[in-house]
Structure 1
Amino acid sequence: MTTRKLPARYAGIAMPFLLSIFMSCIVAGISTLKSVGLASGLFQMWMAAWGVSWLAAFPSLLVVLPVVRRIVAATVQSPQR
């Protein structure tokens, strides 16, 4: 059985979507742990913080990622052929 994949045209949305999920989860986890320590209900607080963080992270990445790509292209040498 083969796995169905999204068409390539969705890569511009799929990449920031997945990146925002992972990065906001990690940052929210670290921030929550630093704020409350190993408190009771840590996981629930982390998940609540993650939800709010992701709501900001995904649209931010959609706006910022093209700018970052241009900055990187301007500062990194193209590979030699």
Structure 2
Amino acid sequence: MSKPVFRKLPAHTMGYVMPLILSIIMSCIVSLISTLKSTGFSGFELPIWLGAWGLSWVVAYPVLLLILPLVRKLTSFIVETP
């Protein structure tokens, strides 16, 4: 077996890493769609989108950390646990 490229983080960090990755991906997609809708394809400029993405992510990550426990509880009311 080959060694992993990097050392994995401990399991207890999952509650921070998962929202981090989710917020990066979601804010990227949402800010791109929003930027394209407001500027159009012909007016699209990478720096404008990156600024929107950065601002979106700065908001998205803390919000995810705050609401994730509530979302887990709401999900447990809807989804049967094994």
The two structures, once aligned, show a CA RMSD in angstroms of: 1.2
Find 2:21's aligned residue among 2, 15, 18.
18
Tell me the amino acid that sits aligned with residue 68 of structure 1: V
**What are the ranges of 5 or more consecutive residues in structure 2 without an aligned counterpart?**
none
Number of aligned residue pairs: 79
Identity in percent: 49
Would you identify which runs of 4 or more consecutive aligned residues in structure 1 move more than 4 Å? none
Q: Distance in 2 between matches of 1:30 and 1:42?
A: 13
Q: What is the TM-score with the length of structure 2 in the denominator?
A: 0.89
**What are the ranges of 5 or more consecutive residues in structure 1 without an aligned counterpart?**
none
Deviation at 1:43, TM superposition (A): 1.4
Q: What is the TM-score with the length of structure 1 in the denominator?
A: 0.90
